[in-house]
Amino acid sequence: MTANIILGAFPEAPPSPPLSEIELEVVPIDLVTQWRRCGMIADFMADYMVYGFERRDTARSVLSTVVNELVENAVKFSTDTQSAAHIAIRHHGEVVHAEIRNDASEKHVQSLRELLEQLAREEATAVFRRRMEDRRGLGLAMLAKDYGATVGATVGPAGAGGKLEVCLRVSLSAAEVEQR
């Protein structure tokens, strides 16, 4: 068996089960044909999770923002738009994890590797600024810069047709989710 490859500072799940969680399976083609479904999923998952927070309006806004970026990212870069993607939010108490698993191409994985390694070793503000100037995608750098998120990924062994399963995970503190 080949082990997963880790990209960047992949946040490991705490040993105990989450206090609360939601996981959805979607088919990217549905979101490609109706883009607003990305936002619908993000809003629904955020609404579901806000009961674990005191400042619910703030938590809803932050969680929806984070999940929307992950979903949009996966939809844009899924190799097979008919192959399911799995989206989850897990509330672990002090930290909250949001993640998405989907099939991606080797080219996308290389691009992700470059970004996540930069985020792991540099100030997120510098990475964000450079990507703004270079006109590259801002979503993940924005989550790191604006919400102090740790962002990392695992990549599974190549499957049929060279498809790679990428699990992209974002970890942010519960205090950040509530902007405390």
CB closer to another protein out of 13 and 27: 27
Site string for another protein, 78-117 (x = CB under 8 A): ----------------------------------------
Nearer to another protein, 70 or 164 (CB): 70
Helices 106-121 and 124-134 sit at what angle, rounded to 10 degrees?
140
Rounded Cα distance, 40 and 143, in Å:
19
Q: Which residues contact 172 (CB under 8 A, 6 or more apart)?
A: 62, 66, 95, 96, 98, 143, 147, 148, 149, 150
Task: Count residues binding another protein (CB under 8 A).
Answer: 26
* Kind plus residue range of the DSSP H or E element containing 88: strand 85-91
Site residues (CB under 8 A) for another protein, limited to 8-67: 35-36, 38-39, 57-58, 61-62, 64-65
If binding is defined by CB under 8 A, does position 118 make contact with another protein? no
Tokens 């992700």 label which residue? 112
Give contact residues for another protein (rule: CB under 8 A).
35-36, 38-39, 57-58, 61-62, 64-65, 68-69, 72, 125, 128-129, 132, 135, 137-139, 142, 145-147, 179
